Each structure stands twice: as structure tokens, then as C-alpha cells.
Amino acid sequence: MPTELSRMAPRLSGVAIDAGQRARRLERLRALDRRLVTAAELPTPPPRPSFADPMERAERLAVGLGGAVETMPAGPVVVVERRTRLPVDLEPLRRLPYPVDPARPLISLDTETTGLGSSTGTVAFLVGLGSWQGDEFVTQQLLMADHADEPALLQAIDARITTDTWLVTYNGRTFDWPLLETRFRMFRRRAPVHAGHLDLLPIARQVWKHRLADARLASVEAAIAGVQRHEDLPGAMIPDRFFGWLRSGRPELLADVLDHNREDVVSLARLLGVMAGVLADPERRRKEHPGDLAGLARAYARSGRSDDALACYDEALSAWDAGDPAPSRLEWADVAADGARLLSRVHRHVEAEAAWRAVAERGGGSAAWAWIAIAKIREHRHRDVHGALEAAGRALAIVERRRAIGVPLRGAERDLGRRLHRLRRRAARAPVRHPASIG
């Protein structure tokens, strides 16, 4: 190096680099950074075991965690395999409005990383995979013992995710998979092609979140599958555990991380079980919270299956008062309004009007909006100006009552101001017609 430097230095601009000088400047920077602590206060660096042989490091980790070393062409990967009895019939998943094909091999996937985001400096050091073998759910956790083993880890993933695989993740579309794509891309390779990807986070948000404090996987699992975790490692501590292992060579630092990851992978399987066994079964889901059914109904509606959606809304509304404790009237009105809107969308206007009437009859602030909706249907669909005026008048009565007690419905007031004005003008010109006379 010195000869090369002496050749470079006079040619290139800037300060000529003298290796000795730079070393001294670094030394001074060290001193500057540490001047606030005395030498005694400096933490003693832990003795760092040196692993000349990558195999040796991987063996040590595998032994410490109860796993085995798998040798890939690019190097060693630690694989920790566990089995749990989890008999599930996944076939009913087909009935649900979610993109999943139970005939394919479903693989649950969850990663543990050195940071958030999918920028290039974040590494997935642990990738947990899980799949059914008969009634048993088998988890395989792939772990790199050193940064240098990442290519081997990626090879191990590549070998397990076939083109036929359907991935099941929690926020995997946004986080885990893009991160893995980044990791493969770092080695100028493509992430494994697979048949599909079912992300349970948006489903959980739609179906269960309304009755939970947050949508974390552990919270959802506790509420839905009744599984409480004990001594679960907070996610924020995970990166430090990995760096700790790299520094100290103590496998036990990663034991909690492995448990946490395995819990997550198994949770995904349990949630799939609940989806197949409860959500996809019209009889069993009747006993669930009506809000869950409303969420499912919305999912059906979004995927264009309006008959299924309407059936779900019906189930939700009819099961409402049986609920214990009964959910609030406001929630009921929201669900009923969703159903009524869907009826309008599929041009079943008579049923839609009936549905809105049901909302109106339950009273409350929603009733004003229900009468406004009825006024719209009568005016625009049935060409019945007088009927519309009558409905708008009922809405006005509610709005005025609300204002009198000091809880005004401002949006409805503004809407009615314009609507009544127009309807009155049109009614003055139109002869009174009975709605039944419409051809």
C-alpha cells in the first residue's frame, strides 16, 4: 500500500494522505469522543471469541439453540425445527373473499431484522417458515450465525419457497417480503417466485381490529384464538440481541428471539385455522361479534360478491341483539347503513329503502341520515318528489331536535338546507303522484 500511495498522492488533489498521519488523527478523534468519560468509566469490552472457521460459529449457535447446521453451497445455515399438533381443515378458506388457494402448499413466513425499513443496511438474520405436514404444523427457523452467512441463508430460503408456494404473512406485503427482495437483490439475484401471498394484517384490521386496542399479531391472536403469550420479547430489543450474539458469541441471547419468531409463525397458522373454521362457516360465525361479520361483509362487497356480502350483513344484524354484551346502536347503524348502500349499488332500491327504514326506526343521529337516504331514493329512483319531501321533512325534524338539545348534526343540516329547497321548488311544479303508480 505505501508504494501505491506515494504514487497516487502527488497526482491527486486534496490533502496528500500519509498513513501515519491519518492514524494519529484517528487517535486524536478517539480521545475527543471519549473525553467526557474517564478511562475507569469506559466499559470493558467483553472477551470476543474468535471463530476462524465459519462452521465452528454456526455449530456453536446450533447447539446453543437446539438446532442443526445445514450446509448450503454458499456456507452454513442454522436450522431450528419444531413440530406442533394443529389439525385444521383449510378447504373452507376457498369460500372467503381473500386471495388464497388452500390446495397449494401454504408457508407462513416471518422475519426478524436488524432494523426497520427495507433499506440496504437492514438484514433479515432470522427467517421463520412454517407449514403443515398432516395434522402437524412444522416450523423451520433459518438463522445466520454471521453476516458472512447471508448468501447461504438466502439459498436456504430459495430452496424452500417453490413456484407453487402460497405465502402467509403478517404485514409481509409491506415489510418482510420487500426486505427479502432487497436482500436477494444485494447479491444481484431475484427473490424466489411463488404462486401467491396472503397478508393477514389487512384482514385482521378489517375483521377484528374494531374490538381490539391495536392490530399487533400477538393482540389479535390473544383475542381471536385465545392464546396468551408469556414473556414475549419486545420487538424493539431484537436487533440488539443479534448484535450481542455477534459480539459475544453467546447463543442464549437469541433464544428469546427464536421463541418470539416461532410464536409469530405459529400464530399465522392458528389465525388461518380460525378463518377456515369460523369465518368461512356461516353457522359458526353467527356466534361471533357482529362487527366481525360486518368486516367480512365489506370484504365480500369489495371483491364483487354482493350476495355473500348481503348475507353477511343480514347475519350480523340479526345476531346483533343476541350479542353479549350487545354492541352499541351506533355500530349497528353503521353496519346497517353499509348494507343499505350495497343494496342501492346493486340496484335493489326497494330493499334498500326498507333497510334505511330499519335504521331510521332505531332513532339516533343515524336516523337523520337514513331519512336523507330514503329521500334520495324516492326522488332519483322512484321520481317521487312528494315522498322525498316527506322523508326530508322527517330528517329535518330530527336535526332540529338535535340542535335544540345542543348536539347539532351540522353535515345533515347543510345537506337538508339545499335538498329541501330543491324538493320544495320541484314539488310546487309536480302533481301529487302515488309512488305505486310508477310503471
Partner 1 sequence: MRIHAPASVPAVVDRLLEDAVVAAAVVADRTLPQRDAVVRPFPSWLDERLRRGLHARGIEALYAHQAEALELLHAGLDACVVTPTASGKSLCYDLPVLQAVIDDPAARALYLFPTKALGQDQLASLRAFADQAGVELAAGIYDGDTPTLVRQTIRAAGQVVVTNPDMLHAAMLPHHTKWYQLFEQLRFIVIDEAHTYRGIFGSHVANVIRRLLRICAHYGSRPVVVTCSATIGNPLELAESLTGRRPALVDRNGAPSGEKRVLILNPPVVDARLGIRAGALRLAERCALGFLRAERQTIVFGGSRHAVELMLIRLREALREGRGPVSRLRGYRSGYLPTERRAIERGLRSGEVLGVVSTNALELGLDIGRLDAAVLAGYPGSIAATWQRIGRAGRRLEPSAAILVATSHPVDQYVAAHPELLFEATAEEARLDPENLHVLLAHLRAATFELPFEPQERFGQAEAHDLLAFLAEEGHVRQADDGRWYWASENFPASEISLRSGADVNVVIIDTGGDRPRVIGEVDQFSARTLVHEGAIYLHDSRQYHVDRLDWDEQKAYVRPVDVDHYTQAELAVTLKPLETFDAVDTRGGERWHGEVMVSSIASIYKKLRFETLENLGWGRIRLPEIELHTTAYRLALDPAAVADWKRDELDLALVGAGRAMQTVASILLMSDPHDLGLVSQVRSPHAERPVVYLYDGVPGGVGLAGRLFARHSELVAGALDLVRSCACQTGCPSCTGPSLETGGDARAAAIRLLAWLAEQATSRADAA
* Residues near partner 1, by CB under 8 A: 1, 5, 8-9, 12-15, 17, 19, 21-26, 28-30, 32-33, 51-54, 57, 114-121, 123, 146-148, 181-182, 185-186, 188, 239, 243, 246-247
**CB-wise, 180 or 398, nearer to partner 1?**
180
State the minimum distance, in angstroms, from the CB of residue 55 to partner 1.
Answer: 10
State the minimum distance, in angstroms, from the CB of residue 184 to partner 1.
Answer: 9
User: How far is C-alpha 101 from the chain's CA centre?
Assistant: 19
**Number of residues that make up the chain:** 439
State the minimum distance, in angstroms, from the CB of residue 345 to partner 1.
Answer: 27
State the minimum distance, in angstroms, from the CB of residue 199 to partner 1.
Answer: 19
**CB-wise, 120 or 318, nearer to partner 1?**
120
Q: Which helix (H) or strand (E) holds 142?
A: strand 136-143
State the minimum distance, in angstroms, from the CB of residue 268 to partner 1.
Answer: 25
**CB-wise, 178 or 408, nearer to partner 1?**
178
DSSP 47-70: P----SSHHHHHHHHHHHHT-EEE
State the minimum distance, in angstroms, from the CB of residue 102 to partner 1.
Answer: 32
Q: How far is CA 227 from CA 49, 64, 172, in A?
A: 39, 27, 22
**CB-wise, 21 or 71, nearer to partner 1?**
21
189 and 182 Cβ atoms separated by less than 8 Å: no
**CB-wise, 28 or 230, nearer to partner 1?**
28
Q: Which helix (H) or strand (E) holds 314?
A: helix 306-318
- Indicate the pairing of strand 166-169 with strand 106-113: parallel
**CB-wise, 17 or 326, nearer to partner 1?**
17
Q: Which helix (H) or strand (E) holds 424?
A: helix 410-429
- 3-class state of residue 399 by DSSP: helix
200 and 207 Cβ atoms separated by less than 8 Å: no
CA distance 217 to 163: 27
> Residue 375 corresponds to which cell in the numbers above?
329521500
**CB-wise, 16 or 330, nearer to partner 1?**
16
CA distance 102 to 98: 11
State the minimum distance, in angstroms, from the CB of residue 238 to partner 1.
Answer: 10
> Residue 351 corresponds to which cell in the numbers above?
330493499
144 and 54 Cβ atoms separated by less than 8 Å: no
**CB-wise, 150 or 263, nearer to partner 1?**
150
Specify the residue for cell string 405459529: 266
H helix intervals, 140-228:
150-160, 176-186, 200-207, 217-224
State the minimum distance, in angstroms, from the CB of residue 181 to partner 1.
Answer: 7
